[in-house]
Every structure is written in structure tokens, then in C-alpha cells.
Structure 1
């Protein structure tokens, strides 16, 4: 039986605006073999439509919005299950705000129920101050994902985890993080595919999110070395992936 594939994007399919070698062939193999798959990303800035259009601009075609699940989507689903019609102060992009609107949340800077934090290229001191004061006043502290850096063309850049760390340091409170490596996001992905974790493989470039998250959810795991993890970094972790590849171009989904 062909395993269902759950695949990260940043550092796996592309770095910033640059396609990783072999990514196009990998996606075409998924499509041509009718392999059930989802792109599961801790990116909370973009919507599934944004991601599909981005991949099309890079030369990857044949996908729909149903092929994606983002940390913003998972965060919105989690918060809706916790409390209907709540309010949130958001540090993050339009993708996160859009998903919160979809589940009936209102955005507010006045005594919000939640402070929800994702990667933001416009993060500033005023936002930090507001978030700290709201959490001190009782707002629940939520993070979309813990990634400290994101791989982009030319190197790495700060990600959501760096903003979360600043707020946590100022408040003394740790956020509840919905995205990878939280098994909740993995469960949402396998549920969306209609498959059991035993019949799924998680492909990613991060040992501390993709690989540990997939492993703890009961999936097979495949690490690609095209993102933030090197063999030297991998050796420092107390667990290991089931497979290691240089990039997704080397992966035959039928052989997993």
C-alpha cells in the first residue's frame, strides 16, 4: 500500500523564493502515483491559496488549496474548539488573521481573550509592549509554531519562536504552541487525509519539529538535508529519522 505523505515546505520544497532541486519531480511523482498527500507547514503568514500560487510561480502545477494545511489553520481550529466567538490580539500576517475570522473570532486590542503570535516581518516594540500587558492582564498566550529561524535564499531569518521568546521573557509565561511538533497538528493532517498515522510518512528538514512531531504521532519520518539540519546537527538529537535524503528529489513515495 502506498503511504500517505505529509510534507513540510520551507527548506523542503523551497528556500524563500528559490525552488529546491528535485521538488518539481517529487510533486509530479506524488500526483502521478495518486499518493494521498498534504503540505503541512508551520508558516502562518500565507493562506492555502497563497501557497498554491507561490508554487505555481515556481513551476509546480496541479495542486489545489485542499493540498495544504498551515499552522494558522490549525491554530484557528484549536481556538474555535476552546471557545466560540472569542477575541484575539494578533501578531502575525494576513493568513493568520484570515483563518481566525473564518472561525468567528474578532480581532481586538481591548482585553482580548487570547494573544496569538506568529512570524511577523513588521514586529515592533509597540506590539511587544501590548502583548506583554495583555498577557499580564489575563489573556491566554498562544503561538502558531516554535521555529526560531526560517531557511531563505542566502541563509536564515528570525521566525515566530524569536518573537515568542521575547514575550515569554517579559511575562514569565510560556505560550501554548499549536503547530509542529505538537501532535495535534499531525492529527489534524492525518484526519484531513482520512488515513492512520501508521500509514503515513512525515517529510521535513527540522529534527525538532518535523521529525519529532511525526515520530510522536506514530508516523514514519524522512529528513531532508536541504533546509536547516545538517548530519552534524542530526547527530546531537536522541532520536533519528527513518530515512535521510539530500532533498525530496531523491524520494520515491512508493518505496517509503
Structure 2
């Protein structure tokens, strides 16, 4: 454990937590997670699971955790798909899109009053998903080439899976950007719009909240730039070595979210 600025977890009102690499890997719950969620409930903390994965709806995420034995209701989830739909609804109400992605992204777009259009859409929206293929990539490229604006659900280049990594949204959007010379706009972390929405959902000021994540380039930077205390957990992507490559640092570096409970209870003190 490394501490740069000790956080008094008992004093904090709200917790925004990443999911992949923090709560689970694939379909495996990480150590200390059940205790952490129980502590959030027992202490009446406001909390939100924020994920850059655009593929799942909040209900699906709630059910995924339920299958792992964790009871978290759907209002505790906010995804890059919801952030993308909210951005488009605010920017261009009633617009049309050509979307590459899963149910989480498509449902969020429909719920925001956005229609699907593969002829002359206002936007091309790309998330992760099995519908990504050379055909859909070519379609998206030509629609952007003809003038559709390019939106990415999130800017993660890769994501953790049980046996390695998987290309994520930033990597999937890159071919369209390169082929058309167009830069995408990304709506998920570390976009401050997503973080501000998360804080609003928690009814928290940034100084009262903690961002917990496993990535320096999305979680820690988004928490820091939003004025929150930040915890980097070493249960996902970033390691002690990768921390050294960044010009900024988290408030605390912990092995996993279970350590938050240990600190709150006074079972651990600064090393």
C-alpha cells in the first residue's frame, strides 16, 4: 500500500467505483468486494458503479452482480452508454445515429429519443460489441466520410479479461478516424461530463467523494480532475510500475477495495 494523501473513508459521503478490474474480472468477483459493498450499505454511503463498458444496461449489470452473489440495485450503475445518450440528447435532441454496439448502448440511445439511421445519420456512434465487423466498420467509415459526426462511447484502448486484454472502444474507433481523417469525441471516462453526472446522481460535492478505479488513464485522472480523492486498486490494469510513468498520482494505492474497509475500521494504518 502506498499513501500520498491519507483519505478518511468514514468522512466521505460518496463513492464512485469502476467495475472491470475493481469489482470483478470476467465472471469472477475480486477479493474483498462483498465486504466493501456491505460496508457501503452499513455506513449509509452513497455509491455508484461507473463503467466505460457500453455493452450492458444497468439492469444487466445488476443481474450480473446478483449471479456473483452481490446485491446491488440498478440505480447504482452509470455507464458510458448512458453518458453518450445524454450527451447526444443535449446536443441534438431527436437526432439519428448509425450505432455499432450492444444492447446497453442501443437501449440508452432509444431511451433518449434517438433513432437509428444507416443512410444519412447525424452521428456515427461506436461502442464495444460483437456487431463490430469489417462490414459495419466500412459502413461507419463511409457515413463519417459523407459528413456524420463521429462519437465514441469511451476512450479505453483495451480492457481486462480473464486471460489477458481485449481491444476496447478507442482501438475500435481508430480505423474510422484514420480512414476519414476525422477525430472522434468520447463521452465516457475521463470526460468530466460523465463524472459531473455521477456526482449529481450521488448528491455529493466532489470534496465529499472518492473515485476508486484500476486505471491511471481513465479512473484516477477523471477523479483528480473532478476534485475527488482517488484510490488506485492494483486488482486490474495498472501496476506500481505503470504509476511511475504518469505525471500525476492517486491519493492512495491499495491492493483492492477490501482495504478501504480495513482502513475505515482502523484495522490498517499507513505503512
Q: Shorter-normalised TM-score: what interval?
A: over 0.9
How far apart, in 2, do the equivalents of 1:83 and 1:215 lie? 30
Match of 2:94 in 1: 85
Map 1:125-204 to 2 at 5 A.
125-204=134-213
How far apart, in 1, do the equivalents of 2:164 and 2:259 lie? 23
Indicate the RMSD between aligned Cα atoms, in angstroms. Answer: 1.3
Q: Deviations over 1:36-88 (max 9, x none)?
A: 11001101100000000000101111x21110101001111110001111100
How far apart, in 1, do the equivalents of 2:130 and 2:227 lie? 34
1:13 aligned onto 2:62: no
Q: Deviations over 1:184-204 (max 9, x none)?
A: 100000011111111111000
Please say which of residues 48-57 and 192-201 is displaced more in the overlay: 192-201
Match of 1:114 in 2: 123
How far apart, in 2, do the equivalents of 1:38 and 1:255 lie? 21
Q: Deviations over 1:18-42 (max 9, x none)?
A: 1111111111111111111100110
Larger Rg: 2
Match of 2:34 in 1: 24
Question: SS state of the match for residue 96, structure 1?
Answer: helix
1:103 aligned onto 2:112: yes
Residues paired across the two proteins, number: 255
Residue 121 (structure 1) shift? 2.7
Please say which of residues 156-165 and 221-230 is displaced more in the overlay: 156-165
How far apart, in 2, do the equivalents of 1:37 and 1:186 lie? 13
Contact 1:17 1:152 in 2 (8 A): no
Alignment gaps of 5+ in structure 2: 1-10, 267-271
Contact 2:99 2:126 in 1 (8 A): yes
1:241 aligned onto 2:250: yes
Pairing partner for 2:229 from 190, 196, 220: 220
How far apart, in 1, do the equivalents of 2:265 and 2:16 lie? 15
The TM-score with structure 1 as length reference comes to: 0.97
Match of 2:215 in 1: 206
Contact 1:2 1:254 in 2 (8 A): no
How far apart, in 1, do the equivalents of 2:88 and 2:50 lie? 19
Residue 255 (structure 1) shift? 7.3
Question: SS state of the match for residue 195, structure 2?
Answer: helix
Alignment gaps of 5+ in structure 1: none
